[in-house]
Amino acid sequence: MSAVLTPTSRAGAPAGFDINRFLVRFGLFFLLAALVIVFTWLRPSFASAGNINDMLRSASISAIMFLGLTWIIAAGEIDVSFMSVAALSTMIVAGLVSAGAGWPLASLVALLAGLLVGLLNGLLVALMGLPALVITIATGGLAGSIAAAIGKGTSIPMATTGFAGALVDANLGLVPVLAVLVALLYAGAWMLQDRTTFGHYIYAMEQNRHAVVEAGIPAGKLLFLLYVVSAVLSSVAGVLLAADLSSGQPYIGSSYFIDGLTAVLLGGMALKMGKPNMVGTLTGVLLLAVLLSGAALLGWTDSQRQIVRAALLIAGVALVVWTRRKNRVRI
């Protein structure tokens, strides 16, 4: 077990400063800073308090949605149902609220729906050993179909946004309260992933699942938990998204699919050389928020923004593959 869980350095690695390694580990932070500077120079309104507040609020909702995905990919699996779960949650909340239900009840039902999807994913993938990609495509399709059926293929507007709207709109000075809460959430998740055996087990599952099982670690139960956490957090994000948009949106998940994978994979290059991690995902989310906000202010079309999203995802995948082949770093 120690060979799997104990940090090791690459055999024969040269001593001294490695500029390539430094750029790979910290390049995402430099890119984020560069984008902020460039967009502020091109459009001074980019750095306005209102725009920064909007970016942080949007990024906070995305960060909640992508947290569970980070752990699943770190464990060597995949979940492509997360964005459909969020879309389903927006529609459940909007449908119930528009029918006269209160926000607490509507939110609870949405969270239960997400929990059911997570339990189904965990059962089929973690406990029965079925292919994660196929299963989560299927469960995501199921969630998306139900979301579309609730509104008969259209969005559902809401006249009130309840406690979730109050949370989304609340500010602590110039910073959204939601952003502060997400920062605390990610700090706690970082502690779990980097400072506890829980996090070591997650990374070990990706490196050598067989060795993890042989060591007596309940890998199936751990992976089951990760799928449940991912789905529930996606539902939480969906509830907040419904409040932010004042509506349920059945097809909103498509943009979050690329953003989620990009934030996790590109963010995985930050600090840990291709290993998905909390700091990297949060940085990736902020990078996307800055890029999309700046692009909108510059008048880029939706198609142009989608091209940039796709290019970043390709870059993230390519960097992860290249880094792992070159370094074979163990965490």
Q: 10-38 pLDDT, tens per residue?
A: 444 445 677 877 877 888 899 999 999 99
* Residue 330 binned pLDDT confidence (cut-offs 50, 70, 90): very low
- Name, in order, each residue with C-beta under 8 angstroms of 165's C-beta and a sequence gap of 6 or more: 243, 244, 246
DSSP 175: E
Phi, psi of 171 (to 5 degrees): -130, 150
**Per mean pLDDT, which range of 50-54, 124-128, 217-221 is the poorest?**
217-221
Using the CB atoms, write b or e for 76-114: b if 16+ within 10 Å: bbbbbbbbbbbbbbbbbbbbbbbeebebeebbbbbbebb
Statement: residue 142 has pLDDT above 90: yes
Statement: residue 106 has pLDDT above 80: yes
**Per mean pLDDT, which range of 14-18, 174-178, 317-321 is the poorest?**
14-18
List domains and CATH numbers for the chain: 63-327 (1.10.3470)
CB 160 within 8 A of CB 40: no
Question: What digits encode the pLDDT tens for the residues 190-218?
Answer: 999 999 999 899 999 988 888 888 888 89
CB 63 within 8 A of CB 116: no
d(CA 315, CA 169): 34
Strand pairing class (175-176; 171-172): antiparallel
**What's the burial of 139, exposed, middle or buried (CB within 10 Å: 0-12/13-18/19+)?**
buried
3-class SS string, 81-127? CHHHHHHHHHHHHHHHHHCCCCHHHHHHHHHHHHHHHHHHHHHHHHH
Using the CB atoms, write b or e for 7-18: b if 16+ within 10 Å: eeeeeeeeeeee
d(CA 111, CA 161): 16
pLDDT for the residue numbered 328? 58
Statement: residue 1 has pLDDT above 60: no
pLDDT for the residue numbered 254? 78
Rounded to whole angstroms, what are the CA distances from 114 to 5, 72, 110, 119, 145? 32, 16, 6, 9, 14
DSSP 47: G
* Residue 327 binned pLDDT confidence (cut-offs 50, 70, 90): low
d(CA 315, CA 317): 6
Helix axes 103-121, 132-150, angle to 10 degrees: 150
* Residue 145 binned pLDDT confidence (cut-offs 50, 70, 90): very high
* Residue 317 binned pLDDT confidence (cut-offs 50, 70, 90): confident
Q: What is the mean pLDDT of residues 268-284?
A: 87
pTM of the model: 0.90
- Name, in order, each residue with C-beta under 8 angstroms of 329's C-beta and a sequence gap of 6 or more: 10, 272, 273, 274, 275, 323
Higher pLDDT residue, 298 or 23? 298
pLDDT for the residue numbered 21? 77
pLDDT for the residue numbered 331? 38
